[in-house]
Chain A
């Protein structure tokens, strides 16, 4: 037991922990500069509230002393949606919120999503598309720039997917899930012809515009797809880096998304390290409905690739034979920002 770590946990020491702290601080400072205020969500909440939104069985559940079924926080957006949804009153929006917290999910022994324990993220409550979407993507763009990450962000649309589900008349969950996997993993299946071409597309907004003019699509699908391309057309000239692509296979891993969805990728990281999207009906499930958009970023995945410095703070030992001498020296040096230890080590 002493050397065994429970599945789905991690620990960080010294330099790694320091890097974590600096990355998180940098991201939080950026949030603050954009007008986002911090929120904290509970670690434990009632499972039943969230059960309809939780995919799979990666949630840790427990029973409290009254016999209520509880769960450990596995998705901060969900926990936040309940907190905000139940307390939000008319006229309180827009709200710009951010968080930096741990999540807990059960994982297979080999699961590489194990690096998702610590997330930072932002939610823009009471924001309409496309302006709210633009703000969120430009905020992420800014954060990636400050972290020095040459990442790619792929923009997709849950609305396109939902319209196709409606048109195909898919009613039960297993059919929807099968179509979702077909799109996400480019498997052969139900989709044929122009719809298949649409969902297989990845490219610039210019290429996407050309594709849409070529494809014959149902009006509702076309509208949703054109909204996304129009967003990309506005976004790309505003962004700090050429890192945005239109990718209709991005349909969001969570069912609560309703419009824009996006994921960020970085060479060397075997999985998306940031994900987000628009969820216009989620808050209404818990209280006052309010259109919202947000994203979260798994800090652990990007830590080794950031340009954040973790060296340069070498500690010096305060000289002197008495506590008073050493402390006086240390106080003076620390006031100048230097790291000083007081001796007394074994």
Chain B
């Protein structure tokens, strides 16, 4: 099988980070204007650029055999993939945040939380034995406490500047979220030799 390995990458900032990292290990590629697929110069990889949240869907169906994205996206998708390699870039943290200077309101052991990460939030608080009422939002989650939709939010926090600008603060750091390379399990079984060679190249020191 000499066809390139198919790899889904999320559009946006992470795409550039992966491109740079792969380039340092000899897998150079770039997307032509408005195109969403590319093949790297060695012919090892066929890159498919997709929307972050859709990435697990493409890999699960085997449209892309490999994928790179954050643990948060994988968790929300609720699918298990073959774990290949964690990266040291792109990591961030999941946090519980609320309005600054307002005491935590314990309302009969139940919290109301607005979040994009509904699955993570539910599982996290249920594991702690706390019942939560979850309000799903797709963006600008910081607005929820400000406008009174929910007193708390669960969101990814990097610098905390967005929180600060909206008068919010982190109440609790929940989990660190990394970025990793993974494979559709059946795809891994069929192409394990090529995939292992590719992963070994990425593990070598950059530029070697």
> A residues touching B (Cβ–Cβ < 8 Å)?
108, 110, 112, 152, 154, 181, 184-188, 202, 247, 263, 265-272
- A110's partner among B1, B57, B187 (CB-CB below 8 A) is B57
| Contact B81–A108 (Cβ < 8 Å) | no
B34 lies within 8 A of chain A by Cβ: no
A271 to B187, CA, bound (A): 8
Minimum CB distance partner of A181 in chain B: B80
B195 → A minimal CB distance (Å): 10
A108 to B56, CA, bound (A): 14
A49 to B96, CA, bound (A): 44
A181 to B62, CA, bound (A): 20
> B residues touching A (Cβ–Cβ < 8 Å)?
1, 57, 60-62, 78, 80-84, 184-187, 189-190, 192
* Chain B residues within an 8 Å CB radius of A268: 62
| Contact B61–A270 (Cβ < 8 Å) | yes
| Contact A270–B83 (Cβ < 8 Å) | no
| Contact B80–A270 (Cβ < 8 Å) | no
With known contacts A112-B61, A270-B184, A265–B83 Cβ distance under 8 A: no
A188 to B182, CA, bound (A): 13
B60 → A minimal CB distance (Å): 6
B52 → A minimal CB distance (Å): 16
Q: Is the interface of A mostly helix, strand, loop or mixed?
A: loop
| Contact B186–A270 (Cβ < 8 Å) | yes
* Chain A residues within an 8 Å CB radius of B184: 270
| Contact A154–B185 (Cβ < 8 Å) | no
Instruction: Given A112-B60, A271-B62, output 15 extra A-B contacts at Cβ < 8 Å.
Output: A108-B78, A110-B57, A110-B60, A112-B61, A152-B190, A154-B189, A181-B80, A185-B185, A186-B84, A267-B190, A269-B62, A269-B186, A270-B184, A270-B186, A272-B186
A188 to B71, CA, bound (A): 14
| Contact B83–A188 (Cβ < 8 Å) | yes
* Chain B residues within an 8 Å CB radius of A181: 80
* Chain B residues within an 8 Å CB radius of A108: 78
- B83's partner among A187, A266, A269 (CB-CB below 8 A) is A187
* Chain A residues within an 8 Å CB radius of B84: 186
A58 → B minimal CB distance (Å): 13
A181 to B82, CA, bound (A): 10
A149 → B minimal CB distance (Å): 13
- A185's partner among B57, B83, B186, B187 (CB-CB below 8 A) is B83
| Contact A202–B80 (Cβ < 8 Å) | no
A298 to B84, CA, bound (A): 28
With known contacts A152-B190, A185-B185, A270–B60 Cβ distance under 8 A: yes
- B82's partner among A154, A185, A267, A271 (CB-CB below 8 A) is A185
- Which of B62, B78, B81 has the most chain A CB atoms closer than 10 A to its own CB? B62
- Which of B62, B78, B84, B185 has the most chain A CB atoms closer than 10 A to its own CB? B185
* Chain B residues within an 8 Å CB radius of A110: 57, 60
A153 → B minimal CB distance (Å): 10
4 A-B pairs with the lowest CB-CB distances in the bound complex, closest first: A270-B62, A187-B83, A265-B189, A186-B83
Minimum CB distance partner of A201 in chain B: B192
| Contact A185–B189 (Cβ < 8 Å) | no
A181 to B81, CA, bound (A): 10
- B186's partner among A186, A187, A271 (CB-CB below 8 A) is A271
A208 to B54, CA, bound (A): 38
Give 22 pairs: A residue, B residue, CB < 8 Å, sorted on A: A108-B78, A110-B57, A110-B60, A112-B60, A152-B189, A152-B190, A184-B185, A185-B80, A185-B83, A186-B82, A186-B83, A202-B189, A247-B189, A263-B189, A265-B189, A265-B190, A267-B1, A267-B190, A270-B60, A270-B61, A271-B185, A272-B189
